[in-house]
């Protein structure tokens, strides 16, 4: 569903309701055809990275579409139910490897949902779970020299970017003090490593699962 966020940005730029209508049709049809199971699941559409990345993007998609004419109260209700289902699914299906990029994405999503969706009665528990996890992950993700534990340059930059996004969300929502006191200092070596491995054109070696794309 990664294209859905780009579609929402096109709507924001054009104001054309056809983009909202297309998203409503496709997203809710997808939910009907791929319902979330109860409890622990290994169903691919609802396992590991998939629901976490969907839910994280949906927080932005919601803000792009919420003022649209086609975003009716009925659509809002269905969207919120589906969003809650996503976060509940994540908290029941934490990825087994705590120091992995997948687990970090899950925790970022739950933390952010707890901050940006406080109207949900479960939001406080989402926030507490995400906050505790993030506090541990800022140390679990990197070795003492700052290198990401999966030895993948793409994942390394992704992890640094994730922590940066977590920090900015906390900062602009008045929750910066809830992060560990050494949050920024803990990322110094990891950020410095990014600077050290990049070529002047912002390219890098293709090691492990890293893509050849430019990171500029």
User: Is residue 142 classed as helix, strand or coil in its secondary structure?
Assistant: strand
| pLDDT tens, position by position, 5-43 | 999 999 999 999 999 999 999 999 999 999 999 888 889
| CA–CA distance, 30 with 168 (Å, rounded to integer) | 32
pLDDT score at 216:
55
Task: Work out the burial of residue 196: count CB atoms within 10 Å of its CB; fewer than 13 is exposed, 13-18 middle, 19 or more buried.
Answer: exposed
Which residue is associated with the tokens 């691919």? 44
Question: pLDDT at residue 198 above 90?
Answer: no
Q: Which of 56, 64, 95, 155 is catalytic?
A: 155
Cβ atoms of 188 and 195 within 8 Å: the answer is: no
Known catalytic residue: 155?
A: yes
Cβ atoms of 111 and 61 within 8 Å: the answer is: no
| pLDDT tens, position by position, 84-106 | 999 999 999 999 888 889 999 99
| pLDDT tens, position by position, 165-193 | 999 999 999 999 999 999 999 899 999 99
| pLDDT tens, position by position, 38-59 | 888 889 999 999 999 999 999 9
Which residue is associated with the tokens 């050849």? 212
């Amino acid at each position: 569903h990664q294209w859905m966020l780009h579609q929402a940005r096109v709507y924001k730029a054009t104001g054309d309701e056809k983009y909202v209508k297309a998203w409503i049709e496709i997203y809710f049809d997808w939910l009907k055809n791929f319902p979330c199971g109860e409890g622990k699941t290994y169903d691919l559409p609802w396992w590991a990275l998939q629901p976490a990345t969907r839910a994280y993007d949906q927080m932005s998609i919601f803000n792009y579409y919420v003022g649209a004419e086609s975003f009716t109260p009925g659509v809002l209700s269905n969207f919120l139910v589906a969003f809650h289902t996503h976060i509940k699914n994540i908290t029941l299906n934490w990825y087994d490897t705590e120091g992995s990029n997948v687990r970090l994405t899950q925790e970022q999503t739950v933390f952010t949902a707890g901050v940006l969706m406080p109207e949900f009665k479960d939001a406080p528990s989402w926030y507490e779970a995400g906050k505790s996890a993030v506090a541990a992950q800022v140390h679990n993700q990197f070795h003492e020299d700052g290198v990401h534990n999966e030895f993948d340059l793409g994942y390394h930059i992704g992890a640094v970017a994730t922590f940066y996004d977590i920090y900015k969300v906390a900062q602009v929502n008045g929750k910066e003090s809830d992060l560990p006191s050494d949050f920024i200092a803990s990322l110094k070596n990891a950020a410095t490593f990014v600077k050290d491995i990049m070529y002047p054109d912002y390219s890098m070696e293709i090691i492990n699962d890293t893509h050849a794309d430019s990171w500029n």
